[in-house]
Amino acid sequence: MKKIALAAIASLLLATSISVGSVAAASKTHVVQAGDTLYKISNQYKITVTELKRLNSLTSNNIKVKQKLIVENKVTSSKNVSSTNSLGTLSSSKLVTQPIISIPITSQALGKKLVDITQPLLGTPYVWAGVTPAGFDCSGFIFYAFNEAGVKVPRLDTIGFYNRSLFIKDPVVGDLLFFQNTYRPGISHIGIYLGDNKFIHAGTKAIEIASLDSSYWNTHFMGFKRFVDVR
């Protein structure tokens, strides 16, 4: 009986080691090079920054040269369907699971409308809770621009807009960018993508164009999203 028990334990340990080896073999990795950022790496491997951070248990956007990052884990993807087919979204009180669904791409026409609407607003002063050309805050700017472009979204704060949108892998002009841990913990800022790593947003003083290549914005970048209202 003792020999049978020991043999069973040995078989279990062998199976476990084989399983672990299979996971390692199925994981695709990237070695961080000088100049790499989470945004750049996620864009290269067509995943979101959020997914890249989840795969590597990262709690910030800071990475180091020669650090090895998992950029794909096929075993996890095949066995944990429920986790890879959903994304956590923040509400004002708790983490809410939000399924990934198919939504239309932001059209070139909508992207052009948003550019045409927002460009003349450059220099408009920052006003807390502002939603008119007399002054905007970051979410008020999004509310104004999209409604003017024909996408009827309600007046929400950044977390509300975060919950009303879905992560995307291939951003186009007119899509949303979300940032975290700026003036408060968690989702705290939003902008509109202009292409070439640039975005327009309500900065601390006025409506301005900024770049994801900036160390500040890159460090706080959460990911690209698209409104479910886009049709």
- Between CA 69 and CA 103 the distance in angstroms is 29
For residue 189, indicate whether it is catalytic: yes
- Hey, what amino acid is at 35? G
Catalytic residue (one of 53, 113, 189, 225): 189
Catalytic residue (one of 30, 53, 113, 201): 201
For residue 30, indicate whether it is catalytic: no
Q: Give the residue from 143, 147, 118 showing the smallest Cα distance to 206.
A: 118
Helix (H, G, I), strand (E, B) or coil at 137: coil
Residues 6+ apart with CB under 8 A from 171: 177, 193, 224
- Between CA 43 and CA 37 the distance in angstroms is 10
Half-sphere exposure of 229 (CA within 13 A, CB side): 18
For residue 163, indicate whether it is catalytic: no
Catalytic residue (one of 138, 145, 166, 190): 138
* Chain Cα centroid distance, residue 39: 9
- Between CA 226 and CA 220 the distance in angstroms is 19
Residues catalogued as catalytic: 138, 189, 201
